[in-house]
Amino acid sequence: MQKMLKRILTSRVYEAAVETPLEEAPTLSASLENKVLLKREDLQPVFSFKLRGAYNKIAHLPGEDLRRGVITASAGNHAQGVAYSARMLGIPAVIVMPATTPQIKIDAVRRMEAEVVLHGDNYSEAQDHCDRLVTERGMAFIHPFDDELVIAGQGTVADELVRQTAGRFDVVFVPVGGGGLIAGMAAYLKALCPEVRVVGVEPLDSAAMAASLEKGRRVRLDSVGIFADGVAVREVGKASFELCRRYVDEIVLVDTDEVCSAIKDVYHATRSIVEPAGALGVAGLKKYVRREGVRGKTLVAVNSGANMNFERLRYVADRTTLGERREALFAVTLPEEPGSLRRFCTEVLQERNITEFNYRLAGRRQAHIFVGISVGDEGERSSFGRQLANIGFESLDLTENDLAKTHVRYMVGGRSSEVSGEVLYRFWFPERPGALTRFLASMGESWNISLFHYRNHGGDFGRVLIGLEIPAEDESDFQAFLERLGYRYQAETKNPAYRLFL
């Protein structure tokens, strides 16, 4: 702890980074009955805390290493932090980025006069290429989180917090990816303010630190979610894990809808739009308050970054009301007979605010309705389901069904009597030209596409839903194809939303 504390206090981050404000969020404070403060790391020159660690590491390099320049692999905020730092110090920088990286991020790095090398479809492929370039060019590699000087640079966020509050706050909520930010902050806070609770926040589908702390060793995830791409890390750093194991009190896990809701909360408080990873702190804070029932405390959330693709806002808006628990989605089964739909509307929906209503004739015995309604809380959602049952309408709550929320609600259209042997899969395609062509070219010639849905969400990866007619004798060949393809996928054939509507 003492070694890290000294490194934080002697950090050189302020040659490039700025001390960011700590602002109260009045509306959020009132609704949660606690004083909520936002640490505005989204106001750094590169719109992210990553500048702190990158600059601190580079500034401490020996003179010969500095002259040769620096190199890193990143598609996000670390790339901009390294590029900005190198320009400040007048040295060359090479940033290896996946070819799937949105153009806005590539352009941002190039504006900082760094050389951009595009390679591979994902971070792992970019990192492998970066390793080869390190050997070829002899440049210093700047790790995004697993380095003590990087961790110390990020730890200066905690130093500012203590000065800005005189140490008078109760809990701090910190986004967690590789663990550099929370490791530095936790080491500093437990040295100076041991009574402050340090809580990390991770997405449910990218919880490498939570899994590692639970096992007592670093765990490598098979796959990670792509929405909060700033924290999509399969394995946390060795140095950051050791510090987190000693000084972090707990990890809170949040889902995509909760993150979208938090983005809206931050916008209302600051009129700024943070990226999904940047909103994790607020999402975790809200979940912690609901779970623990705390009142009258001072709670701090770190807004870690604001490099948001504008195209992603549509997806965020779609999912926000679900994250706020203000919208519920239901599949309702009605008898296919005259008057049943009118009865459903007059006896059940009545004066309710309808957010979604999809129906198509699919058979002569039953009708399946996909309906969204505004609700005040979880209790109202449950009472709506009970009301349906009391009237005799069978229903299924789809509010937590990701297939329904991401795809089905946009494509309700009934079944086809012509389809046979259909299997349904979700894929995460790299958002780049040729991704679909590669998929189709690799397929068996006898496999027919029977369903397809894609919607651009402004991320590095596209979410694609595909139905295929696979003969029984080709099942093993199909599984081999999935593994060979290399895209992340998930089987959905047994999903009730698919069974009901598609």
Residue 83 has pLDDT above 90, yes or no: yes
Q: Are 267 and 175 found together in one domain?
A: yes
Q: Are 167 and 269 found together in one domain?
A: yes
Residue 437 has pLDDT above 90, yes or no: no
Task: Give residue-wise pLDDT tens across range 357-372.
Answer: 877 666 677 778 888 8
Say which CATH number the domain at 290 has.
3.40.50.1100
Residue 257 has pLDDT above 70, yes or no: yes
Predicted local distance difference test score (pLDDT) of residue 431:
63
Find the mean pLDDT for residues 204-222. Answer: 95
Top-confidence residue, 375 or 282: 282
| Residue 231, in any domain of the structure | yes
Q: Exactly one of 304, 395, 405, 450 is catalytic; which is it?
A: 304
Q: Exactly one of 35, 50, 190, 286 is catalytic; which is it?
A: 50
Find the mean pLDDT for residues 17-21. Answer: 98
Q: Are 311 and 333 found together in one domain?
A: no
Top-confidence residue, 275 or 441: 275
Structure tokens at 501: 């509507």
Q: Which amino acid is at 165?
A: T
Say which CATH number the domain at 468 has.
3.40.1020.10
Say which CATH number the domain at 340 has.
3.30.70.260
Active site residue 3: no
Q: What residues does 453 pair with on adjacent strands?
A: 465
Residues 6+ apart with CB under 8 A from 492: 403, 424, 425, 426, 465, 498
Handedness of CA 208, 214, 195, 295 (dihedral sign): positive
DSSP string covering 324-385: TT-EEEEEEEEESSTTHHHHHIIIIITTPPEEEEE-----SSEEEEEEEEE-SSHHHHHHHH
Task: With cut-offs at 50, 70 and 90, classify the pLDDT of residue 341.
Answer: confident
Q: Which amino acid is at 180?
A: G
Last-in-domain residue among 107, 141, 175: 141
- C-alpha angle 465/469/474, rounded to 5°? 115
Task: Give residue-wise pLDDT tens across range 136-183.
Answer: 999 999 999 999 999 999 999 999 999 999 999 999 999 999 999 999
Residue 89 has pLDDT above 80, yes or no: yes
| Residue 350, in any domain of the structure | yes
Predicted local distance difference test score (pLDDT) of residue 103:
77
Last-in-domain residue among 381, 400, 419: 400
Residue 432 has pLDDT above 70, yes or no: no
Q: Are 7 and 42 found together in one domain?
A: yes
Task: Give residue-wise pLDDT tens across range 274-310.
Answer: 999 999 999 999 999 999 999 999 999 999 999 888 8
Residue 126 has pLDDT above 70, yes or no: yes
Active site residue 50: yes
Q: Are 6 and 94 found together in one domain?
A: no
Last-in-domain residue among 287, 321, 355: 321
Q: Are 170 and 251 found together in one domain?
A: yes
Strands 354-358 and 366-374 turn out to be: antiparallel
Identify the weakest region by mean pLDDT among 145-149, 229-233, 353-357. Answer: 353-357
Total structural domains in the chain?
4
Structure tokens at 337: 């007979």
